[in-house]
Structure 1
Amino acid sequence: MYFHINSNKMFFYFMLMFSSLISISSNSWFGCWIGLEINLLSFIPLISNSFNMMSSEASLKYFLTQSIASINFLFTIIMKMIFFKNFEYNNMISIMINSSLLMKMGAVPFHFWFPNVVEGLSWMNNFILMTWQKIAPMILLSYYLNYNYMYIIIILNAIIGAIGGFNQTSLRKLLAFSSINNLGWMIMSILISENLWMFYLILYSLLISMMCFIFNMFNMFYMNQLYNSNMNYSIKFFFLINFLSLGGLPPFIGFFPKWIIINFMLMNNLFIISFILIMMSLIMLFFYIRIIYSSFMFNYMKLKWMKIFIKNKFIYIINFISLISFSGLILSTFFFY
């Protein structure tokens, strides 16, 4: 099984990428709003499926929440034009614009739709939702930041993303709450530098793409499928390395951008936020290690006729990229010393 892209959907994939570029490169708020609307209208046909009730329900939820966020964004733009010379309203308008964009990317406390939508989507659409769909709102967020408000949002994302993963048996929901937790780190990185945010997003997208590809290849959606699968142990080992790297365990590449963010926070006396982010990352690592320990150590009864043979050569590229995860500590050492 692989990510199959229908030729009829290529137009919507093109519009999805093009609309994000419109929002990023626009020199007016209305142009940004138009780009976000085109992005919404191009993503709905990709996730809706008339043969799958969960997919149809997810597309409806996504459409409603994104429409509410777009209406709030447009209303705030008009408010900003009316009260442009009145500086008393600038703080309120910045919070409203930030809240609209946070709802679009599924950040806490506007995350109510995100896990439910993720649960109804395919792995390919989940990858797009967790990575590409965050680019335009994050860059627009950096144009009009309210720092005090953002610090509260960062703490809430870290806490809810970690606590929400408890007792989750669905791999899609687990990755959804992991995405919420990582969103707190992304917002912190964009407060520091856009280059650092881009570096964090590229690494996160690389790890998520490999995990979504393997889950899609083996048709896995729940943890017990991962435990019972008869995949090769070497492939399982390299695949589960990505879990540890996503959690930010020090020897792996996922720790590298988090180390830079932690150093910046400590230099700027943001001790409370750094402590909360680190502690919540430890809770996320607990989820990942629980999955790894169970899949390797538990002695499940496995049927011989369920043996999985991998004929796709792309899996070896994934194994090679997983080996690069070990270079995180070396890169971090050279970077700081």
Structure 2
Amino acid sequence: MVIISTIFSLSSGHILGVWLGLELNMLSFISFSIQSKNFNEVEAGLKYFLIQALGSGFWLLGSFLFYLSMGSWFLFETIVDFNNLIGLENIFCMAKVIMMWGLFMKLGAFPIYFWVPSVMNEMSWFSCIILATWQKFIPLILLSYLIGPETFFLGIIVSVMSSLVGGVGGLNQTRLRVLMAYSSIGHLGWMIGLMYMSWIGVMVYYGVYFVVSLSVFLFLWLFEFSSFMQVTGWRMWGKSMLILFSLNFFSLAGLPPFLGFMSKWVALQAMVNSGSYFLGCGLLVGALMNLYYYTIVVMNVSVWGGVWVINNSTSMKFKFEYLIVFMFSMISITGLMFMNSIIGSSI
């Protein structure tokens, strides 16, 4: 249902049709995330509903102003001609800002970011995977149709501050769901900033983030980790799993030669070519703080002693789930080297 509502949102060029698709996507995700009827998950679903409903309200308000200025309900097919907007420029700009504000709320970008750690901390790992990856797809597509010179300053501020918040918020965190939530906010800042430079770069960044974060989330979900106290127990599982888990986090941090480095490389190259040095520096500061707490996780795994006792239900016997985790981990770790070999052979 989540996938169907996503397709419906993007296939409809009508602004109200997009709004309906966003609502269907929200309701389907909430019904999916609270199937276990756990109190914490129900509370998280209610928080998610309230913030998403508020974002939808902003989108709906902006859509009416958009129609007032443009005389059209079709966002994707409307060609903006400022010669025909004499006297309506302020309404048009206000409509775009309000619609972007609603999308920023739905994405969990600065300054309405506080709901993301709170919601993810109370959800299951599988719901966290969907929220951190797939649920970003529709708002990012819609943002690409709203960006422009009149919203450049707003987008840059939201981008840089989201990256910094994602870095600062993850410091001194012991709960892995909260840490991954702030990591998601930090990467979202990169995608928003890159959107003003290269749309293809945004798709590359999103695709790489999707694969790399999925490999990390699958590790945490499969072994039901929730805090550093449990992660240190990985020392009891041998060096091979320890190394695989650590390399996935380094890939998420964007270190070479892992696949996660490709997204940072594409983004920085686009920013340098466009002369956006302030944006690049701000995003790099946030990324360095992300790298710090990723390294703390790896230190917990590699150096400090573990006190967690492994349950029988999560024994290291061969399962199909372990094969999926291993496959995504290999893509995350060796993807960049594989792509370089393809590009090098084609030149």
Q: TM-score, normalized by length of structure 2? A: 0.86
Match of 2:95 among 93, 97, 121: 93
* Alignment partner of 2:217 out of 212, 216, 221: 212
Runs of 5+ unmatched residues, structure 1? 1-14
State the shift of 1:317 in Å.
Answer: 4.6
**Which one is further off, 74-83 or 235-244?**
74-83
* CA-to-aligned-CA distance 1:241-299 (integer Å, 9 cap, x gap): 11001111122110112101101111111111111211221111111111112211113
Q: Give the distance between the partners of 1:304 and 1:109, measured in 2 at CA.
A: 40
1:310 is paired with a residue of what secondary structure?
coil
RMSD: 2.2
> CA offsets, 1:8-49, max 9 Å, x none?
xxxxxxx21111111112111111111101111111111225
What's the CA shift for 1:318? 3.1
Counterpart contact for 1:256–1:331, Cα < 8 Å:
no
In 2, distance between residues paired with 1:150 and 1:333?
A: 36
**Residue among 32, 39, 49 paired with 2:18:** 32
Which of 294, 305, 308 aligns to 1:288? It is 294
Partner of 2:134: 132
Aligned to 1:11: none
Partner of 2:303: 297
Cα separation, partners in 2 of 1:300 and 1:62, compared to 1, 3 Å: closer
Query: How far apart in 1 are the matches of 2:64 and 2:163?
Result: 32
SS state of the match for residue 237, structure 2? coil
Which amino acid in the other structure matches residue 17 of structure 1? I
Decide which of 248, 257, 266 is 2:263's aligned counterpart: 257
Instruction: Report the Cα offset of residue 308 of structure 1.
Output: 3.9
Summarize the Cα distance change of 1:31–1:51 in structure 2 as closer, same or farther, 3 Å threshold.
closer
- The amino acid that maps onto 1:56 is V
Tell me the distance in 2 between the aligned counterparts of 1:47 and 1:330: 36
Following TM superposition, by how much is the alpha carbon of 1:211 offset from its aligned partner in structure 2, in angstroms? Answer: 1.8
Report how far residue 310 of structure 1 moved. Answer: 3.3
Greater Cα offset, 301-310 or 64-73 = 301-310
| Equivalent runs, 1:29-108 vs 2, <5 Å | 29-49=15-35, 51-84=37-70, 85=85, 86-108=88-110
- Structure 2 alignment gaps of length 5 or more: 71-84
Structure 2 CA distance for aligned equivalents of residues 162 and 124 of structure 1:
23
Deviation at 1:225, TM superposition (A): 0.2
How far does residue 82 in structure 1 lie from its aligned partner after superposition?
A: 2.3
The answer on whether the counterparts of 1:252 and 1:326 sit within 8 Å (CA) in structure 2 is: yes
Contact 1:73–1:100 (Cα < 8 Å) also in 2:
yes
How far did residue 50 of structure 1 move? 6.5
CA distance in 2, matches of 1:332, 1:208: 21
Q: Distance in 2 between matches of 1:91 and 1:304?
A: 56
What is the TM-score of this pair, normalised by structure 1? 0.89
Q: Deviations over 1:157-182 (max 9, x none)?
A: 11000000011111000000000000
**1:304/1:96 Cα in 2 relative to 1: closer, same or farther (>3 Å)?**
closer
Residue matched to 1:179: 184
